[in-house]
Structures are given as C-alpha cells and as structure tokens.
C-alpha cells in the first residue's frame, strides 16, 4: 500500500488506512469524522454494544437520513450520492473485516 495514496482516519478510537485518490481525501476525512460522530452518539446511548453493531446502526441511521432528504421535493435526488454512500459503506465494511482478521496483541 503506497502511503501517498493512503489516508489514515480514526473512527471510534481505531485507526484505518484507506487508499484514496488525492482529490477525494478531504471528502473521505469529512465522511470519517461524520461517521465517528454518529458511532459515538450510538455508543454513548448505551443501547448498542460492540463496534460491529454500532457501525451497522450508524450506517442505517446515515442511510435513513440520506434517503429521507432525497424524498423531500425541495431536495433533488442525486444518484451519485447513493453510489458514494454505498462506496463508503463498502470501505467501512472492508476496514472492519480487515481489522478483525489481524491478530491482536
């Protein structure tokens, strides 16, 4: 993995290195901060335990918000936004699965 193409983000106290084109770095960092905030909200509620479950709940909440905004007539639906959300969710899933595969300790 080339460090020039990778961005390290921190989500729920864990670091993830993600390969990302230079022109998308700021968007990725913003998305990671947003996701981190949502996951922290869910964790602090005390109703959901475990990083995987917190991530799924955050993804569902973010997706629900996005779809709700797209349904409103004053907001134009953007097909590329859905693709970006899908891509981001795939990246999070990949990062979480890679993290679980690495030996601890």
How does pLDDT run across 49-72, given as a tens digit for each residue? 898 999 999 999 999 988 888 777
Given this model, what pLDDT does residue 1 score? Answer: 45
- In order of their start, the domains of the chain are 3-101 (3.30.160.880)
Average pLDDT over residues 73-89: 67
Report how far Cα 46 is from the mean position of its chain's Cα atoms.
20
Helix, strand, or coil (residue 79): helix
Please give the structure tokens belonging to residue 46.
């005390």
**pTM for the whole thing?**
0.62
Confidence of residue 77 (pLDDT cuts 50, 70, 90): very low
In Å, what is the CA distance from 98 to each residue of 67, 102, 103? 29, 6, 10
Helix, strand, or coil (residue 83): helix
Residue with tokens 């947003």: 34
Q: What is the pLDDT of residues 93-105, one digit of tens each?
A: 777 777 666 555 5
């Amino acid at each position: 993995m080339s460090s020039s193409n990778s961005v390290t983000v921190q989500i729920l106290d864990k670091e993830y290195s993600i390969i990302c084109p230079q022109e998308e770095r700021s968007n990725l960092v913003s998305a990671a901060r947003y996701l981190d905030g949502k996951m922290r909200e869910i964790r602090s509620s005390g109703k959901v335990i475990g990083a995987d479950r917190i991530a799924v709940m955050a993804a569902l909440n973010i997706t629900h918000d996005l779809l709700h905004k797209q349904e409103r007539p004053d907001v134009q639906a953007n097909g590329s936004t859905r693709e970006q959300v899908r891509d981001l969710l795939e990246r999070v899933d990949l990062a979480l699965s890679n993290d679980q595969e690495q030996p601890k300790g």
